[in-house]
Amino acid sequence: MKKYILSLDAGTTSNRAIIYDLMGKPVASSQRELPQIYPKPGWVEHDPRLIWATMLAAVREAMAVAGISASEIAALGIANQRETTLLWEKSTGKPLYNAIVWQCRRTADRCDELRRDGYAEFIRERAGLMPDAYFSATKIEWMLKNIPGAAERAEAGELVFGTVDSWLIYNLTGGLHVTDVSNASRTMLFNIHTLSWDDELLSLFGIPKAVLPNVVPSSGVIGTTKPEHLGAPVKIAGIAGDQQAALFGQTCFEPGEVKNTYGTGAFLLLNTGKTPATSRSGLLSTVAWSKDPSLSDTLYALEGSVFVAGAVVQWLRDELGLISTAAESEALASSVEDTCGCYIVPAFTGLGAPWWDGAARGIITGLTRGVNRRHIVRAALESIAYQVADVINAMVADTGREIKAIFVDGGASANNFLMQFQADILGVPVLRPAYIETTSLGAAYLAGLGAGVWDGEAALSALERNLTEFTPKMPAEHREELLYGWHRAVERALSERKA
């Protein structure tokens, strides 16, 4: 009987199920939209029941399209939107509130308070993160304070917290309460050095340990699905936050290897090996993955987030009307030799790493009478590459490691102009696999390893990937000149407190 791997890709705007064969090739997939809920400006929520229902529907449809039964699935893996926070009754699975999405800014004032009170360095030392509403801790704190009776019920052990991976596993298994080490490291409650929930961080946020899930490796069988969901029990053997899953899917198994996912934003992760790197350049230290039940083989990563990547192309299309489709941007950008001195800094919601200036705002500089639509489109695409270059340079500064190449994935990586300019402005090759949905592939790889489908990482590295290589062609002098102009533009976009 032929065997397959089932990957659940739990995203922010949709849930997808992808079935892979044992060569790592996609066989079938299904996607369901996940409605967004905006109760107040800056607040973002999901209905927990819909997270589960849409994922289950996608899984069943993907299996039907592939024409396979549960008995043919060797393992199931999960990659999920990170930091999104849920609270539910331990005994019944009934949610107490909507899921608070990672994008939600309702606890931004609380994070400002933490910084003012001097907790930033303490949190960074323990969790590898900075106080920000992005992470789970202040979301849980908010729920316990604002849902009537929640704090008392949590202390009594009646309630449990989980990120989306935990929620899906609880429902798939009928009550198992776990998370993997990569997702735990994004909560701002997990000590990335001891690889355990941190009592002092829990005390800071007033969160009882009883609500927390057990931490398991990212790869390894942790349970089986209830027969009624898929038709027969299936082993759950892989779990990772989406960006860590993409790093694994790119087979960046060695320290110094780096990937960038070009989505609405851009997320860069650098494998730093068995020791977490301390960043002084505005990057985050995070857990990459673990494959051992003792977590003794845990690997770490440095992470840098670019807030606006593919979103700048959407802006060209939807707000400015300069293009009708995202794909059109490539031809327009390639039709001119340069931007005619124009730079766009797309700080629509501030600037992420390494600047971390939430008050920065987008600008266009260098406008002259000769600048036209094509130059503006090219400048928008170049802005993505410049932001990525700033994060890569911060990674080099933090680790002292030479970056020899960058692996890329995500929707915008299909743009050949952008990938060539990225290679040029970095001065290193850019490597793009034929299959650019590496988040779900990484979850499949972790699950397959955990279930013994593949012998080890060498077997995964040997699978055919059909890499396209974009080689730098730009003279170093021109690269430095362009970067100088970019940083001049960034200085103008920064808020007064950063400039």
User: Cα–Cα distance between 158 and 150 in angstroms, integer?
Assistant: 9
What tens digit of pLDDT does each residue of 339-361 get? 999 999 998 878 888 887 877 88
The dotted CATH code for 4-243 is 3.30.420.40
Share of the chain above pLDDT 70, in %: 99
Beta bridge partners of 33: 14
User: Which pLDDT score, from 0 to 100, does residue 2 have?
Assistant: 84
Enter the tokens of residue 27.
Answer: 């066989």
User: Which pLDDT score, from 0 to 100, does residue 363 have?
Assistant: 94
- Going from the C-alpha of 273 to that of each of 186, 189, 191, 362, 423, the distances in angstroms are 18, 22, 17, 36, 25
Dump strand ranges (E) for 366-418.
406-409
User: Cα–Cα distance between 244 and 257 in angstroms, integer?
Assistant: 13
Contact 303, 267 (CB under 8 A): yes
Residue 491: pLDDT band (50, 70, 90) is very high
User: Which pLDDT score, from 0 to 100, does residue 496 have?
Assistant: 66
Characterise 63 by phi-psi region: left (phi > 0), alpha (psi -120 to 50), beta (else). Answer: alpha
Q: Which of 303, 331, 479, 313 lies closest to 383, judged by CA?
A: 313
Mean per-residue pLDDT for 412-431?
A: 95
Indicate the domain borders of the chain: 4-243, 251-432+467-499
What tens digit of pLDDT does each residue of 460-479 get? 988 888 899 999 999 999 99
User: Which pLDDT score, from 0 to 100, does residue 498 have?
Assistant: 53
Indicate the burial class of 404 (C-beta count within 10 angstroms; 0-12, 13-18, 19 or more).
exposed
Burial 61-82 (b: 16+ CB within 10 A, else e): bbbeebebebebbbbbbbbbbb
User: Cα–Cα distance between 440 and 7 in angstroms, integer?
Assistant: 6
User: Which pLDDT score, from 0 to 100, does residue 57 have?
Assistant: 96
In the predicted structure, residue 499 carries a pLDDT above the cut 50: no
Beta bridge partners of 262: 266
Residue 41: pLDDT band (50, 70, 90) is confident
For 251-432+467-499, CATH number out of 3.30.420.40, 2.120.10.30, 3.30.565.10, 3.40.50.720 equals: 3.30.420.40
Angle at 184 between CA 187 and CA 149, to 5 degrees: 55
Enter the tokens of residue 466.
Answer: 């059909």
Half-sphere exposure of 468 (CA within 13 A, CB side): 15
Positive or negative, the CA dihedral 440, 130, 102, 498 is negative
What tens digit of pLDDT does each residue of 300-346 get? 999 998 888 888 998 999 888 999 988 899 999 999 999 999 999 99
- The most confident of the ranges 107-121, 175-189, 393-407 is 175-189
User: Cα–Cα distance between 442 and 437 in angstroms, integer?
Assistant: 9
Are the folds of 4-243 and 251-432+467-499 the same? yes
Helix (H, G, I), strand (E, B) or coil at 14: strand
Share of the chain above pLDDT 90, in %: 77
Backbone φ, ψ for residue 112 (5° rounding): -60, -40
User: Which pLDDT score, from 0 to 100, does residue 464 have?
Assistant: 80
Preceding omega of 354 cis (within 30 degrees of 0)? yes
Mean per-residue pLDDT for 167-189?
A: 97
This prediction has a pTM of 0.90
Least confident range from 35-44, 410-419, 486-495: namely 35-44
User: Which pLDDT score, from 0 to 100, does residue 462 have?
Assistant: 87
- The average confidence (pLDDT) of the chain is 93
User: Cα–Cα distance between 69 and 230 in angstroms, integer?
Assistant: 8
End-to-end CA distance of the chain: 63
User: Which pLDDT score, from 0 to 100, does residue 129 have?
Assistant: 92
User: Cα–Cα distance between 125 and 269 in angstroms, integer?
Assistant: 19
